[in-house]
Structure 1
Amino acid sequence: MTAVYVYPWDVNGDPAAPELLASLGASSIVMAAAYHSVRAATPRHPKHRVVDATSALYVPVRREAWGALMPPSAAAWAGEDSFNRAAAQLSLPVAAWVVLTHSSAVGRLDPSVCVRNAFGDVYDYALCPSSDDVLSYAQVLVGEIARQTGVEAMVLEACGPLGLGHQSTHEKTAGADWSAIDEALLSICFCAACTASYAAAGLDVPQLAERVRLGLGLGVASIDEVLGPEAKVVLDVRRQAARALRDAVVAEARAAGVREISMHAATDPWATGPAAAVDSVADGIDYYIAPAWELTGAVAVERVQDLRRLGAERIGAYVTALPPVPADADSLTRHWQALLDAGATDLHIYHAGLASDRRLAALRTAIAEVHPNRGSRDDSAD
């Protein structure tokens, strides 16, 4: 299967969009149904060139369905029920792209449910899955989307904790020269729910926070060097919360009729962000999608192979046709073919709505060159 990603506003109001998307040669569309804040280019749309969107839901927000946390409606910039209006115009199957724990609009409603680092800094874009309110919010989110759209496929993003890194407000942290270990330390959550779980697991929470603070900038090779055996306990707490989140949203989606559920995932145990950390092939997830944007080096290939080593039989490779990747079909083809050769069965291509005409042309040619559909178990449905 080959899927291209879009936003509802890429389709609505543009009569040429459905035919253009069908012409790319993909077998399906993945369209945002719940999404974080974004400032998006629309290079071909007849009515606008830039869309400024806050974290929102792209189906109607039924107030009676929600508990303590509720997403805002996207009607102000995308129109009411924009997901369904866009999906109705497309000839290809449409999967709902659901971002679960990345929402500054929801986080600002109640900072206590957000990730809080060892210094007490709150990441309002990062909803902590240890919170019961966040768990309930995510469950209602997938249920509302599934029941209001009738989609048979759902792609889950941020199905776990977010950390320091994100793509939202202007980012001004690069000059701190934090290493990957530093960023992982700054991503360990000390919200009320997480600290209660650490204490229940036998950790001295103030001492743990102090170790994290003192470990920043030491240049160590691993988090274990900073936290010692407590690192495993922290990971266990995080895994339990992420597993509970995943199980809850999968159960809700299945109950609402979703047939296929995929999830952006990474095998790094300390991973936070769009691709949630996984250490096993979980029940209820039909396939995992590996972050595979890097054209150079073996990083992207290794991420696909890591999922294969976990026992995943079907693996999506999340690739991009946007900068810094060149608008060059040969480069895309070589990269995508290497991922397929490494064990990827599906390509998830970001992003047809944001790409220039030149990039779309390269994307179209590359899809035709690699023919990934022959490697998918869904060939009969395409």
Structure 2
Amino acid sequence: MRTAAFLYPWDVLGDPDAAARVADLGVQQVTLAAAYHSTRALTPRHPRHRIVTAQHAAVLYEPDEQRWAGRELRPYAAGDWAVGDAYGEAASALADAGLEVHTWVVLAHNSRLGADHPDTSVVNAYGDRYPWAPCIAQPAVRALLVDLAAEAANRPGARGTELESCGWYGLAHLHAHDKTAGVALGDAAQYLMSLCFCGSCRDGYAGHGLEAELLAAAVRNALEPVWAGAAPADAGIEKLLGRELTATTLEFRARTARTLQEAAVTAVRAAAPDGFQVLLHADPVAHHCGANAGVDPAHILSVADGVVVPCTGGPAPVLPFAEQEAAGSVLAANLTVVSGMGGSPGTLGEDAARAAALGANELRLYHAGLASDTDLAAVGAALSRLG
């Protein structure tokens, strides 16, 4: 199976051994961050540092000023964690080591945007804003994300891209010093807490025959037993919100996400050379929010060249995509190989085999820069056995 490892530019820059180390794992490709959210990242082998703090979401190259001139919403340049064309310098080193390089582009996840432009953020049924989550129903946000996708994906020498967070973002987010686990929120409650009530979404609900204030009140009412600890964690959305409101909100949100995904892929391809591969990080449950955007499997495989699917918890999410029998589509199982982040590099071979049995035809390894030496040794041994 073709295998790619995720990396940040700072994993490579300033470390003359980094590119060869990754190539020696036995991967064929690196998916290298070109536009990324804020993070604090460990660099366990770097000769100059051990921690990199990316203070805000940024592009990790020099953005095209002509494209963004005069626009209120535009990507942010990185600070000292990724100076200049950090992506390009790292990509060149990886290519020199014989690795194919694809871009890794994070879209609808940007807390700096929410801080500078609060009106762009998702607003929940209680009126709370989520500054990390740009609302993808807003025309200005959509224009930013589509143009960012086109620019960040098509870096010189890149053979393809993987678009992360190309859909709705919601409540779930590892924010600074999170204190949100006091009440266990099941899948349905996460959905209700992720419904947006900004002006654009209110207009969207109205277009589907829903009065936004009445919907918000219904959401708050549906969540009352959750806050009281009286709702089963596995209660479905319809159980909490009712069949009609559930169906209508899902219809609006699914259509909004689908059209954004179509526009982003179209923009990337319009700017890309022939043969450029476009994948989405995707979850087969359409109402799910986050880095792996909820999608309709049949639709997304008709739009993109394939998907990267979260499989650390098991390979089951691959199956709905495989059932579409979309010839030539990439179905990449994304497996965490960092023990400290819940991964299991020692069972990589078995995990890959289970994913392949359900239809996966490629692997993604998260994350070669964050893993310990012991974890990387286990990954290399597993990949050598896979051939």
Q: Same fold (TM over 0.5)?
A: yes
Aligned position for 1:375: none
Aligned position for 2:172: 165
Length, aligned pairs only: 365
Q: 1:168 to 1:34 in 2, by over 3 A?
A: farther
Aligned position for 2:373: 357
What RMSD over aligned residues (CA atoms) do the two structures have, in Å?
A: 1.6
Q: Distance in 2 between matches of 1:99 and 1:203?
A: 32
TM-score by length of 2: 0.90
Q: Distance in 2 between matches of 1:212 and 1:356?
A: 44
Per-residue deviation, 1:109: 2.1
Aligned position for 2:352: 336
Counterpart of 1:173 in structure 2: which amino acid? T
Return the match for 1:124 from 131, 134, 140: 131
Aligned position for 1:135: 142
Per-residue deviation, 1:315: 0.8
Retained in 2: the 8 A contact 1:97–1:155?
yes
The within-5 A match list for 1:45-84 is: 45-53=46-54, 54-66=56-68, 67-84=71-88
Matched, 1:113 2:114: no
Per-residue deviation, 1:78: 1.5
Counterpart of 1:316 in structure 2: which amino acid? A
Counterpart of 1:271 in structure 2: which amino acid? H
Other structure's SS at 1:2 match: strand
4+ runs deviating over 6 angstroms: none
Counterpart of 1:340 in structure 2: which amino acid? A
Retained in 1: the 8 A contact 2:103–2:154?
no
Residues 225-261 of structure 1: CA deviation (Å, up to 9, x unaligned): 2132121111111112111211111111111115100
Per-residue deviation, 1:179: 2.2
The within-5 A match list for 1:77-226 is: 77-90=81-94, 91-216=98-223, 217=226, 219=231, 221-225=235-239, 226=241
Counterpart of 2:174 in structure 1: which amino acid? Q
Aligned position for 1:40: 41
Q: Distance in 1 between matches of 2:9 and 2:285?
A: 32
Other structure's SS at 2:116 match: coil
Matched, 1:370 2:374: no
Q: Distance in 2 between matches of 1:370 and 1:146?
A: 30
Aligned position for 1:240: 255
Per-residue deviation, 1:107: 2.0
Residues 6-45 of structure 1: CA deviation (Å, up to 9, x unaligned): 0000001100011101101001000101111110000000
Matched, 1:269 2:286: yes
Per-residue deviation, 1:327: 5.7
Moved more, 278-287 or 6-15: 278-287
Retained in 2: the 8 A contact 1:290–1:307?
no
Per-residue deviation, 1:209: 0.5
Residues 114-158 of structure 1: CA deviation (Å, up to 9, x unaligned): 111100111111111101111111121122224443422000100
Aligned position for 1:251: 266
Moved more, 305-314 or 273-282: 305-314
Per-residue deviation, 1:63: 3.7
Q: Distance in 2 between matches of 1:146 and 1:290?
A: 19
Matched, 1:27 2:34: no
Q: Distance in 2 between matches of 1:85 and 1:164?
A: 35
Aligned position for 1:3: 4
Q: 1:108 to 1:150 in 2, by over 3 A?
A: farther
